[in-house]
Chain A
């Protein structure tokens, strides 16, 4: 079955530590996205990538970094500079980046999320 796999499901970070969240998709999608979700709030975009070796900052990129060395993988690193990292992190992908398909934009497909907490 095709889909998006996020790991781990739960992650704990110590003070001053960087942690990396994994996101892998086998849908052959071009675009990938990282969102942060806080309790009772909507999704806020951290980073997105339209093609391999290219990515752009979203609304809340400070304290985070990403890479896109392979089409199927888009890992997110939460650095020690992110002072309030406790949240639910969601990875998503879409077959074409929004705006590239004049026939109607394609939906985003989501992974099951990683819950990050501070020790």
Chain B
């Protein structure tokens, strides 16, 4: 079946530190991969996506590369800011199905 496994949190970093949040997946077919961000009390916002192997999604300084050989889609940012504090969700959409599959989320807190 399809599933997404995310690095467990919470993660606490100092401002300007490097961020990595690990995400690996299991899927049939050719999935598309997504990272969403959720700020307190709000819904999820799409952060970036990649729809085929070796694609790199990027947005607001965040990047993730679709690695089919390691079934991974790790989220990275070179220098985090306090405003990046949120919960991050990795997700996949399998084009043989009709659903999205979400990881359990990783809480990030950035301290000044």
Q: List chain A positions with a Cβ less than 8 A from chain B.
A: 4, 6, 31, 33, 40-43, 45, 48, 50, 56, 58, 90, 92, 97-99, 101-105, 107-113, 115
13 pairs of residues in contact across A and B, judged by CB atoms under 8 Å: A6-B43, A48-B98, A56-B98, A90-B43, A92-B43, A99-B97, A101-B95, A104-B32, A107-B34, A110-B43, A110-B45, A112-B43, A113-B41
Query: Complex formed: what's the CA distance from A108 to B101 in Å?
Result: 11
Interface secondary structure of A, over-half rule? loop
Query: Complex formed: what's the CA distance from A21 to B27 in Å?
Result: 32
Question: How many B residues touch A, CB cutoff 8 Å?
Answer: 26
Query: Complex formed: what's the CA distance from A102 to B52 in Å?
Result: 11
Q: Are A98 and B93 in contact (CB under 8 A)?
A: yes
> Beta-carbon contacts of B79-112 to A below 8 Å, as 1s and 0s?
0000000000100011111111011110000000
The answer to whether A98 and B46 touch (CB under 8 A), given A105-B32, A105-B51, is: no
